[in-house]
């Protein structure tokens, strides 16, 4: 996708145009989804929190923490919206380097859980460096696209630098291992290259390479092969490899059209693993039914559509690329999470934005929304309000 120099400048000049207000529809959609998500965390988690000794049998343990992270996350989002896009551009390389260093350090000093070493823990707060890497890749690759401009159609400038950046990040993620984050990095890099103007022929070759890498991962990483087997026939081993997805399907199916009612779900009573995290959408389907789940997906669709609308009205290329990339990241995570819990794709640890329990992940998601809101401040007001047509003297006379 190419843009002429007359359509979009490479970067915005913050000093030339005063910044306006944030985009209210986008903000309201984020706040609405966040509010519903926090309520669903309360409903989905209270049973496990009550029975767990780690939470001191406090049924509101996960809810109060998520509420804290949601409130402080909104403050982070509003703060992020105050910084101009050139601020993020200047530090994009630093942020990418920082994420690479953190991914290296987590392999040595990270917390190991479920056979993977993906988390750092500070006091009672854990975070994944992979979350930082996602936004860092978007900011840095947007800068690469602006730097190479019309050269993006060549392999040297339109493919190789992006393959190197994604390859380093993915290589470190595989060592954790963190297959789901690797998939997201591949997809978001593909999106950035596409909107940046990379020739389609390279995507065909890239899809072949990714497919080959997936086959290798399935054969080398034992847990990946088990997940594929469980995906193909989850009911073949309902007590082990297929247990989680079978319980998820039970929850979705029992919800029916209108659901069992908020708080009345049954699978969250220690049947469904990760019911307040990666599989919270299953609880949504069980308690709110097909209608409630559809409404939530429509809200996500409206948020994603608004994000791309803002991208198409940006006044500089870098803002367009970042806004497109962050919106695509949101869309990818929503689509993959829903696909996992409905068994459309093999089970991977992909959270549902604004819904899944996780403090630092929620902070970063809201910070990313703050970046989009920052970009919306620089969109000229005439893009939102259609100016009135001025009547000339001749028109008045003609009308008379």
CA 112 → CA 18, 41, 131, 134, 182, distances in Å? 48, 25, 17, 21, 18
Q: Assess contact for 19 and 91: CB atoms under 8 A.
A: no
Rounded Cα–Cα distance for residues 360 and 357 (Å): 10
What pLDDT is attached to residue 20? 86
Can you give the pTM of this predicted structure? 0.88
Residue 27 within a domain: no
Residue 99 within a domain: yes
What pLDDT is attached to residue 126? 80
Residue 62 within a domain: yes
Q: Which of 63, 188, 178 is nearest to 119 (CA)?
A: 178
For the stretch 268-319, pLDDT in tens is 999 999 999 999 999 999 999 999 999 999 999 999 999 999 999 998 999 9
For the stretch 343-384, pLDDT in tens is 998 888 889 999 999 888 999 999 999 999 999 999 876 444
Residues of the chain with pLDDT under 50: 1-7, 15-16, 382-387, 390-400
Residue 231 within a domain: yes
Residue 26 within a domain: no
Tokens of 294: 């559809």
Rounded Cα–Cα distance for residues 13 and 16 (Å): 6
Q: Which residues contact 249 (CB under 8 A, 6 or more apart)?
A: 234, 342, 343
What pLDDT is attached to residue 221? 57
DSSP H/E element including 119: strand 116-122
Tell me the HSE value of 277 on the side-chain side, using a 13 A CA sphere.
13
What pLDDT is attached to residue 13? 57
Domain housing 334: 36-380
List strands edge to edge, sheet with 111-113. Answer: 111-113, 116-122, 125-127
Residue 279 within a domain: yes
What pLDDT is attached to residue 56? 87
Residue 11 within a domain: no
Q: How many domains does the chain have?
A: 1
Rounded Cα–Cα distance for residues 80 and 373 (Å): 8
Q: Assess contact for 279 and 337: CB atoms under 8 A.
A: no
Residue 206 within a domain: yes
């Amino acid at each position: 996708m190419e843009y002429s120099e007359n359509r979009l400048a490479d970067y915005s000049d913050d000093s030339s145009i005063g910044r306006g207000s944030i985009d209210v529809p986008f903000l309201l959609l984020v706040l609405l989804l966040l509010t519903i998500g926090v309520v669903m965390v309360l409903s989905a988690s209270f049973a496990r929190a009550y029975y767990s000794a780690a939470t001191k049998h406090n049924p509101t343990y996960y809810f109060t923490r998520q509420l804290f992270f949601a409130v402080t996350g909104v403050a982070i989002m509003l703060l992020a919206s105050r910084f101009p896009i050139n601020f993020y551009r200047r530090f994009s390389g630093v942020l990418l380097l920082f994420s690479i260093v953190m991914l290296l350090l987590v392999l040595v000093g990270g917390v190991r859980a479920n056979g993977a070493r993906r988390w750092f823990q500070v006091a009672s707060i854990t975070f994944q460096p992979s979350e930082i890497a996602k936004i860092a890749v978007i900011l840095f690759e947007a800068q690469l696209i602006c730097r190479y401009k019309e050269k993006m159609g060549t392999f040297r400038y339109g493919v190789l630098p992006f393959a190197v950046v994604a390859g380093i990040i993915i290589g470190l993620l595989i060592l954790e291992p963190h297959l789901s984050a690797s998939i997201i990095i591949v997809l978001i890099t593909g999106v950035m290259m596409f909107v940046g103007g990379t020739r389609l022929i390279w995507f065909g070759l890239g899809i072949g390479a990714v497919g080959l890498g997936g086959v290798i991962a399935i054969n080398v990483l034992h847990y990946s092969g088990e997940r594929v087997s469980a995906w193909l026939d989850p009911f073949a081993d309902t007590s082990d490899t297929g247990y989680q997805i079978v319980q998820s399907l039970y929850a979705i199916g029992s919800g029916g059209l209108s659901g069992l009612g908020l708080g009345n779900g049954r699978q969250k009573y220690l049947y469904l693993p990760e019911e307040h995290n990666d599989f919270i959408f299953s609880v949504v389907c069980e308690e709110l039914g097909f209608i409630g789940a559809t409404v939530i997906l429509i809200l996500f669709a409206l948020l994603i559509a608004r994000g791309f609308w803002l991208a198409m009205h940006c006044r500089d290329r870098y803002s367009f690329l970042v806004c497109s990339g962050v919106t695509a990241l949101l869309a990818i995570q929503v689509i993959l999470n829903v696909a996992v819990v409905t068994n459309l794709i093999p089970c991977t640890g992909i959270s549902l934005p604004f819904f899944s329990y996780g403090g630092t992940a929620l902070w970063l998601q809201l910070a990313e929304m703050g970046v989009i809101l920052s970009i919306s401040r620089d969109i000229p007001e005439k893009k939102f309000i259609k100016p009135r047509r001025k009547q000339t003297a001749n028109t008045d006379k003609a009308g008379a």
